[in-house]
Chain A
Amino acid sequence: MDFPFIKEAISQLFSKSSCAMYPAVPSEAAPGYRGRIVYHPELCIACGMCERVCSGNAISRSVEHLEDGRDKITLTFNLGSCTFCATCADFCTKHAIEFTGDYHMVATKEEDLLVRGSFIKAAPKKKAPAAAKPENCSAQVQTEASGVKPREDGKPVNDQSRCVYCTLCAKKCPAEALTVDRTAKTWTLDEDKCVSCGTCAQVCPKNCIIMG
């Protein structure tokens, strides 16, 4: 009688298993793996860009007004709704969102899958209302609380107490009429170039650009 492969079969009995013996032997994620999100609230400026680009609506922001006039801003990342596409981390200019190699995201409650972080935003410096282009202000008062009034000629005006200088308005302006300097904290409008299209007000994540 002939037994084909009998030598092979017996040697396989004593050879090492080719399985990944996972729970006994811990395994690391590959480099560049996008796992659990780590949020660094101390770097965040709450521009809201991550919220806008998130395809799974996994990021939410809540603002709590403290007694001393400052705001406590909390960002919540719901890993149960996340696609782990890392678009939020790519768009974050401050690198406050980080994707780690931690893939152990197993929970019995929804609460366990939330990544939270909060920071206290310093109170905006009070400026004299005269600084906000008083010569062009109309009598119509829409945003009295911020002290910025819409202009009569239909061109945009920026409420600089709320502006985070994310430069998105300048990037999106079709007429290239806006210049934003992040370090000097200036927002300047070239009135000759501006076509009053309202794109800047539409894209502003802080809604601080007001059209006339």
Chain B
Amino acid sequence: MFKKLIEESTGRSPWLFHINAGSCNGCDIELVSVLTPRYDAERLGFKLAGSPRHADIVVVTGPVTKQSLPRVLRTISQVPEPRCIVTMGSCPQSGNVFRGSYSVAGPLSKYVPVDVDVAGCAPKPEAVIDGLALAAKILKEKRGRMK
């Protein structure tokens, strides 16, 4: 009975972990605005976790610089399965204007499987909420497959 209760509750409240992989801070500010009272993603269950070990969804911003790459990979490997990786903005998907720079190791999909891409530079908070809702759906499917 408790197992069912836990399953139900975790499905309704996926926790986020935010990684800044060399972002210009534009996407980070948009993500903060999603979590703060104006858009308040917490009313939909999305809560920012302080530790990657508590998280279900990883939100990556920034073009994945060479300095941040080992840290990003180590942090993502600490997130327990099933996890869902969301890229926010154009940078982690392609490198955007930083593409071809000597210090950029991205895109992120070269290193880890990415589940959801939220495009925009920076994406609107509404688009981020859409992306997180899709990530929560994918997470539910992944959890069902793991059983």
Does B38 contact A113, Cβ atoms closer than 8 Å?
no
CA distance A107 to B43 in the complex (A): 23
> Chain A residues with Cβ under 8 A from B126's Cβ?
22, 27, 103-104
Contact with A along B104-147 (1 / 0, CB 8 A): 00000100000111111101111101110110001000000000
Does A105 contact B123, Cβ atoms closer than 8 Å?
yes
Which 8 pairs from chain A and chain B are nearest by CB? A105-B119, A81-B94, A80-B93, A103-B124, A19-B40, A79-B119, A106-B131, A106-B130
Q: How far is the CB of A84 from chain B (nearest CB, A)?
A: 5
Most A CB within 10 A of own CB, among B39, B118, B119: B119
Q: Chain B: residues with CB nearer than 8 A to chain A? A: 37-40, 43-44, 90, 93-97, 99, 109, 115-121, 123-127, 129-131, 133-134, 138
The answer to the question of A23 belonging to the interface, with a C-beta cut-off of 8 Å to chain B, is yes
CA distance A58 to B95 in the complex (A): 10
Does B96 contact A56, Cβ atoms closer than 8 Å?
yes
A46-71 residues with Cβ-Cβ distance < 8 A to B are 55-58
Q: Chain A: residues with CB nearer than 8 A to chain B? A: 18-20, 22-23, 27, 29, 33, 35, 55-58, 78-84, 103-108, 110, 113
Does B39 contact A55, Cβ atoms closer than 8 Å?
no
- Please tell me which one of the listed residues A57, A82, A103, A113 contacts residue B127 in the complex, with CB atoms under 8 A apart: A103
17 contacts between A and B (CB under 8 A): A18-B38, A19-B37, A19-B43, A23-B129, A23-B130, A35-B124, A57-B99, A80-B93, A84-B121, A103-B120, A103-B124, A104-B127, A106-B127, A106-B130, A107-B119, A108-B117, A113-B93
